[in-house]
């Protein structure tokens, strides 16, 4: 429906544990402290004093809390002494209706399992690392004669060397850009390289050595790969000396063009060294630097990634449910969950000691398969690094608080402008995307005063017959009907995860469609507002349509208008991304996908042999039998699939 939108810079919600969050958790069931204690005592009678992990679950079977213990019986028994528990844990006990217990061989193993289960279940009474974005790496694929340097996320493969983690995709892009200038390694895919008949633009601007067309032999390219690996391992000084020597030799041989290339590479190396080096004495430092800061109940953790003396970026993270938990305990929970996904370096520098640091070090060492040291430096260059991380953590918390204050004020003004009884706590924004009615897809994104709730986003595939192609109001009806019917089935009391406001991308007809769905389902406490593009689709001249027929505009440059545009643009981005993926899958779909017995491998064999699906359809039985991997029986199945049953017998007889 809309043009591609840039990704907004509005933060992702941290969902910290506060009174409102507690109310949502309590809405899961009726709190009963005595029933909770009784459920714990029932399990307690079966526990021994071995190490393990326990999960507290509510009446619906949802996990409330995950904990680990050196001695399960001793630890779980503390929850029966409710008068000694903080208020947060008293609420948890009141909701508990059962325990799930897993014993382990050691407390370190229990700690690792606890972190994995917290990341899996995201319990509302645990400190939870709410950051679902994986950390990017740089991958050097040594399986190819001319290895490729590229950004990588996800599972790792044998034969590929990985460098990282980097704090962001931007840090990877900057490093890859520098490595291209320095070592001229290819960045193109294998299939792209195989199709080249002449060098690409990267060769022309001296960022690739063009192995695709033989401008460099395998031995010389291997030398570039060795230099790149040495540089990424922190041996930039040795690389610099080799480049200087090679430039001097080229000058002596009067090969000034080669000497100029080497000179440019030396300049790039000097620039990278100046930008990334932490300290001249830190060339061998492999460490993460972690510091914690807290203000007004918001806890932030800053992480710096240092590898071989190079700064590979930093990231601020904001754990959820950490407001009333001791900062040392927050740090311990963070370390367990963070390094459940990221390999820990040999040294982790901290601004404070977490509880049981030796146990944490033992668990991280087991995770890494080598020794990992946790250290709180007191002086010197390492202390300076920790102080720098601490300053950055405090600044990140201050920025997030400023953003939160601004968002709260904007949400209050939004309620005033649209006539809502109170500022919305949850806004759902709906949009759809299609091309002339094809590959239609609806999308819902969710926003709160804390930011976007990425985990609550949802896409709605429009199946054939759901709506008339190109019927935007019909798509709105289909999306909201599916969303709210399911919500009423799963949460009939409408006590949690229920929106206060629906923001619909569209005008009066879309608002009328949304209102009709809510009325049909008996929902009368959710407001609806349509946001229509201005004349000539100009941003800044949007019109907002209300359910009572009124419409209004906001002055250009108004902060509330910018907020609503960001919400609408995020829905655009999410809808368009899903639509493009669906359209891409449709473009590579083939009539061969419908043939029984033809999977990806046989489909590829048929296309490689005949060139197109149309040619496969027109092929004779004998031609199909000649395809590698296609038996006569399968060939007959393929032939019959593309021909009328009435003619199949005669044709098969003639063919064979």
- Integer Cα distance of 251 and 446 in angstroms: 62
Query: What residues does 277 pair with on adjacent strands?
Result: 310
Model confidence band, residue 25 (pLDDT cutoffs 50, 70, 90) = very low
Tokens of 277: 């080096």
State the average pLDDT for the chain: 81
Please state whether the peptide bond connecting residue 49 to the residue before it is cis, i.e. omega within 30 degrees of 0. Answer: no
Query: Stretch 198-203: mean pLDDT, rounded?
Result: 88
Top pLDDT among 229 and 394 is at: 394
pLDDT the model gives residue 28? 47
For the domain 591-655, what is the CATH code?
Answer: 1.10.150.20
pLDDT surpassing 50 at residue 335 = yes
Per-residue DSSP letter, 500: S
Buried b (16+ CB within 10 A) or exposed e, 427-448: bbbbbbbbeeeebbbbbbbbbb
Neighbours of 589 (CB within 10 A): 11
Cα–Cα distance for residue pair 138/149, rounded to 1 Å: 7
388-401 residue pLDDT tens: 999 999 998 988 88
Q: What does the angle CA 73 – CA 74 – CA 80 come to, to the nearest 5 degrees?
A: 90
Residue 101's beta-bridge partner residues?
A: 54
Q: Which CATH class is domain 285-398?
A: alpha beta
Task: Please determine, for residue 18, whether its predicted confidence score (pLDDT) is greater than 50.
Answer: no
Ramachandran angles phi, psi of 351, nearest 5°: -90, -10
| Average pLDDT score over residue span 153-163 | 84
Lowest mean pLDDT across 99-103, 447-451, 608-612: 608-612
Residue 568: closest CA among 554, 588, 584, 548: 554
Residue whose C-alpha is closest to residue 17's, from 100, 93, 87: 87
Residues with Cβ within 8 Å of 578's Cβ and at least 6 positions away in sequence, in order, are: 433, 441, 443, 459
CA–CA distance, 402 with 389 (Å, rounded to integer):
20
CA–CA dist 408, 516 (Å, integer): 30
The CATH homologous superfamily to which domain 427-586 belongs is UvrC, RNAse H endonuclease domain (3.30.420.340)
pLDDT digits (tens, 9 = 90+) for 555-581: 888 889 988 998 998 988 888 876 566
Q: Does the predicted TM-score (pTM) go above 0.85? A: no
Inter-residue contact 58 to 50 (CB < 8 Å)? no
pLDDT score, position 3: 37
Residue 529 pLDDT > 90, yes or no? yes
Q: With CA atoms as reference, report the closest residue to 613 among 629, 626, 602, 597.
A: 602
The token pair that represents 146 in the structure block: 């001319």
pLDDT at 583: 55
- Per-domain residue ranges of the chain: 19-121, 137-281, 285-398, 427-586, 591-655
Cα 249 to Cα 74, 206, 223, 231, 528, distances in angstroms: 73, 20, 17, 22, 74
Spatial distance between the Cα atoms of 313 and 308, rounded to a whole number of angstroms:
13
CA–CA gap between residue 334 and residue 131 (Å, rounded): 11
Report the DSSP pairing between strands 298-307 and 310-317. Answer: antiparallel
Give the mean model confidence (pLDDT) for residues 602-618: 81
Q: Quick check: bond before 165 cis, omega within 30?
A: yes
Please state the φ and ψ torsions of residue 147, each to the nearest 5 degrees: -55, 145
Position 582 scores a pLDDT of 59
∠ CA 255-261-264 to the nearest 5 degrees? 140
pLDDT (0 to 100) of residue 79: 93
Q: Is pLDDT above 80 for 318?
A: yes
The pLDDT of residue 646 is: 45
Return the closest-CA partner of residue 618 out of 639, 604, 634.
Answer: 639
- pLDDT tens digit sequence for 240-261: 777 777 788 777 777 777 777 6
Give the Cα separation of 482 and 488 in Å (integer): 10
Bridge pairing between strands 427-435 and 137-141:
unpaired
Are 430 and 571 within 8 A, CB to CB? yes
Q: What is the DSSP string of 131-161?
A: --PPPPEEEEETTSSS--EEEE-S---TTEE
The DSSP bridge pattern shows strands 347-350 and 287-295 to be parallel
d(CA 619, CA 641): 12
Q: What pLDDT does 423 receive?
A: 92
Pairing of β 451-452 and β 137-141? unpaired
Cα–Cα dist 591/602, whole Å: 13
Q: For residue 540, is pLDDT > 50? A: yes
> Which pLDDT belongs to residue 535?
60
Domains 285-398 and 591-655 fall in the same CATH topology: no
Looking at domain 19-121, which of 3.40.1440.10, 2.60.120.10, 3.40.1190.20, 3.40.50.300 is its CATH number? 3.40.1440.10
State which H helix or E strand residue 624 sits in.
Answer: helix 621-625
Nearest to 448 by CA among 133, 18, 14: 14
Q: Which pair of structure tokens corresponds to residue 654? A: 């003639």
Question: Can you say how many angstroms the Cα of residue 444 is from the centroid of all Cα atoms in its chain?
Answer: 17
Residue 20: predicted pLDDT = 40
């Amino acid at each position: 429906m809309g043009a591609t939108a840039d990704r907004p810079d509005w933060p992702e919600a941290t969902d910290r544990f506060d009174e409102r969050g507690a109310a949502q958790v309590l809405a899961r069931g009726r709190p009963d402290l005595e029933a909770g204690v009784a459920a714990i005592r029932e399990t307690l009678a079966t526990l021994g004093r071995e190490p393990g992990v326990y999960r507290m679950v509510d009446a619906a079977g949802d996990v409330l809390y995950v904990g680990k213990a050196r001695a399960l019986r001793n630890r779980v028994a503390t929850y029966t002494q409710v008068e000694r528990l903080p208020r947060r844990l008293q609420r948890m006990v009141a909701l508990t209706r059962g325990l799930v217990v897993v014993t382990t061989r050691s407390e370190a193993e229990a700690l690792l399992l606890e972190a994995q289960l917290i990341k899996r279940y995201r319990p509302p009474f645990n400190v939870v690392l709410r950051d679902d974005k994986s950390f990017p790496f740089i991958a050097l694929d040594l399986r190819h004669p001319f290895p490729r340097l590229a950004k990588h996320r996800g599972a790792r493969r044998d034969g590929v060397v990985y460098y990282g983690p980097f704090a962001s995709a931007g840090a990877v892009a900057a490093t890859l850009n520098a490595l291209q200038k320095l070592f001229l390694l290819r960045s193109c895919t294998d299939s792209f390289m195989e199709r080249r008949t002449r060098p690409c633009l990267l060769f022309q601007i001296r960022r690739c050595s063009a192995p695709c067309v033989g401008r460099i032999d395998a031995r010389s390219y291997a030398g570039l790969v060795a230099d790149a690996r040495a540089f990424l391992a922190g041996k930039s000084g040795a690389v610099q000396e080799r480049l200087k020597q090679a430039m001097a030799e080229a000058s002596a041989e009067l090969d000034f063009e080669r000497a100029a290339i080497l000179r440019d590479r030396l300049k790039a190396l000097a620039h990278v060294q100046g930008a990334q080096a932490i300290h001249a004495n830190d060339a061998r430092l492999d460490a993460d630097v972690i510091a914690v800061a807290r203000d007004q109940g918001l806890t932030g953790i800053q992480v710096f990634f240092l590898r071989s003396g190079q700064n590979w970026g930093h990231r601020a993270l904001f754990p959820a449910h950490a407001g009333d938990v001791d900062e040392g305990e927050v740090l311990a929970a963070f370390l367990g969950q963070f390094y459940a996904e990221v390999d820990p370096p040999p040294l982790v520098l901290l601004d404070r000691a977490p509880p049981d640091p030796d146990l944490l070090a033992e668990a991280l060492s087991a995770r890494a398969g080598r020794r990992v040291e946790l250290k709180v430096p007191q002086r010197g260059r390492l202390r300076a690094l920790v102080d720098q991380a601490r300053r950055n953590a405090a600044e990140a918390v201050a920025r997030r608080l400023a953003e939160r204050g601004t968002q709260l004020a904007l949400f209050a003004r939004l309620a005033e402008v649209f006539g809502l009884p109170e500022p919305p706590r949850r806004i759902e924004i709906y949009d759809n995307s299609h091309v002339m009615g094809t590959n239609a897809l609806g999308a819902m994104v969710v926003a709160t005063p804390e930011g976007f709730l990425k985990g609550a986003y949802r896409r709605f595939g429009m199946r054939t017959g759901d709506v008339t192609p190109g019927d935007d109001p019909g798509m709105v009806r289909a999306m909201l009907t599916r969303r709210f019917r399911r919500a009423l089935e799963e949460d009939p009391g409408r006590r949690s995860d229920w929106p206060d406001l629906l923001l619909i991308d569209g005008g009066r007809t879309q608002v009328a469609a949304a209102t009709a769905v809510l009325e049909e389902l008996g929902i009368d406490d959710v407001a609806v507002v349509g946001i229509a593009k201005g004349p000539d689709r100009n941003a800044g001249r949007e019109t907002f349509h209300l359910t009572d027929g009124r419409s209004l505009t906001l002055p250009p440059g108004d902060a509330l208008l910018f907020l609503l545009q960001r919400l609408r643009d995020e829905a655009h981005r999410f809808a368009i991304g899903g639509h493009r993926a669906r359209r891409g899958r449709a473009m590579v779909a083939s009539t061969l996908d419908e043939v029984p017995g033809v999977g990806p491998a046989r489909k590829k064999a048929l296309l490689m042999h005949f060139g197109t699906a149309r040619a496969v359809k027109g092929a004779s039985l004998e031609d199909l039998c000649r395809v590698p991997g296609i038996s006569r029986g399968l060939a007959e199945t393929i032939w019959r699939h593309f021909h009328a049953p009435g003619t199949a017998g005669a044709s098969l007889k003639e063919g064979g």
